[in-house]
Amino acid sequence: MPDGFVYGENWAPVYEKFTRIRGKVAEADETVAFLERYSSGGSALELGIGDGRLAVPLNERGVRVEGIDNSDSMLKLLAKRTDLIKAWKGDIANFRAEQRYNLVYCVYNTFMLLFTREAQIACLRSAAEALGHDGILVIEVGVPALDGFASGQKTTTLLMDHENTIVDTEVHDPLNQTLVSAVLWFSDTSVRRLPYRTRYVYHQELDTMAECVGLELAERWGDWARSAFNETSKRHISVYRRTDR
Ligand SMILES: C[S@@+](CC[C@H](N)C(=O)[O-])C[C@H]1O[C@@H](n2cnc3c(N)ncnc32)[C@H](O)[C@@H]1O
């Protein structure tokens, strides 16, 4: 994958359909209810705002939502849905917000799209600086799923129905904790290749990185319904606050 790779440019044409198929549109209400609680009815900043899957309904609940994304195509999807949300083109690994927010959030594994440890720490630092005094940072990431790899490779069927076959192909680099991947989406006579790359983090590493930039863990959940995070959890929702509040 060449450097300068921009995830959203490949994914935007199918993002709405893909998130619907993966249950992410259905999950949005529960996610937004969770996020609303931490925004204190004030302001929120979404890192990697995408098509507004969450920002639009959160805004409809009275939270003043803004967002950052590095993909023109994703920002166009958002602009088609609403003109009530201020969103700008930028890199979540290195941004400086003009104001302080009650809530900053980065969900649906977007944090792991930052491909290096340095980029991930820089993102946390920028996010910490964007928080108001009692501000909250919410991060949702998957628990690394490294079972089933053979010779550093894995292919997983995501969907098989009468119209679609969607498979996820991944190549693992354990030294850098990275996965270079592509979703291959076959439907009738066409196939679309959707590349992406991630650097996975375990929850304790995330806490350590957060501590390095002046944040501390306040809560951790296994899903948006606040189930306990335990050894069977597939993801975690981690809530951080400033240590100097
Ligand atoms: C998995 S999507 C999530 C979108 C939205 N947050 C949601 O939950 O539906 C990741 C989003 O982050 C954006 N993104 C990825 N890397 C980024 C970066 N380094 N800076 C800014 N945006 C980025 C992508 O363009 C995409 O819109």
Q: At what angle do helices 203-212 and 117-130 cross, to 10 degrees?
A: 60
Other CB atoms within 10 Å distance of the CB of residue 107: 23
Residue 64 in contact with residue 88, Cβ under 8 Å? no
User: Measuring from atom 27 of ligand 1, which residue has the nearest CA?
Assistant: 50
Other CB atoms within 10 Å distance of the CB of residue 99: 10
User: Measuring from atom 4 of ligand 1, which residue has the nearest CA?
Assistant: 50
* Residue-level pLDDT at 197: 97
* Residue-level pLDDT at 41: 80
User: Measuring from atom 16 of ligand 1, which residue has the nearest CA?
Assistant: 113
For residue 87, the CA-to-ligand 1 centroid distance in Å is 12
Ligand 1 lined by 105 (C-beta under 6 Å): no
35, 70, 94, best to mutate for ligand 1 pocket (most atoms within 8 Å of CB):
70
For residue 224, the CA-to-ligand 1 centroid distance in Å is 19
* Residue-level pLDDT at 2: 63
* Residue-level pLDDT at 5: 87
Scan for tokens 């959160």, then name that residue: 58
Helix (H) or strand (E) run with residue 185 in it:
strand 178-187
Nearest to 183 by CA among 163, 197, 173: 197
* Residue-level pLDDT at 3: 72
Domains and CATH numbers, the chain: 7-143+200-242 (3.40.50.150), 153-198 (2.20.25.570)
- Which segments of the chain does DSSP mark as H helices, in order? 7-21, 28-39, 55-60, 72-81, 117-130, 203-212
* Residue-level pLDDT at 40: 86
Spatial separation of the C-alpha atoms in residues 175 and 155, rounded to whole Å = 20
Quote helix, strand, coil % in the chain, to nearest 5. Answer: 30, 35, 35
Instruction: Give the atom of ligand 1 at the shortest distance from the alpha carbon of 74.
Output: 27
Residues (pLDDT < 70) of the chain are: 1-2
**Structure tokens that stand for 23 in this block:** 């249950």
Spatial separation of the C-alpha atoms in residues 6 and 9, rounded to whole Å = 6
Ligand 1 lined by 110 (C-beta under 6 Å): yes
* Residue-level pLDDT at 188: 85
pLDDT digits (tens, 9 = 90+) for 111-160: 999 999 999 999 999 999 999 999 999 999 999 999 999 999 999 999 99
3-state secondary structure of 55: helix
Ligand 1 lined by 58 (C-beta under 6 Å): no
For residue 30, the CA-to-ligand 1 centroid distance in Å is 20
For residue 51, the CA-to-ligand 1 centroid distance in Å is 9
| Whole-Å CA distances, 52 to 6, 65, 158, 189 | 18, 10, 23, 30
Q: How many CA atoms lie within 13 A of 173 on its CB side?
A: 11
Ligand 1 lined by 50 (C-beta under 6 Å): yes
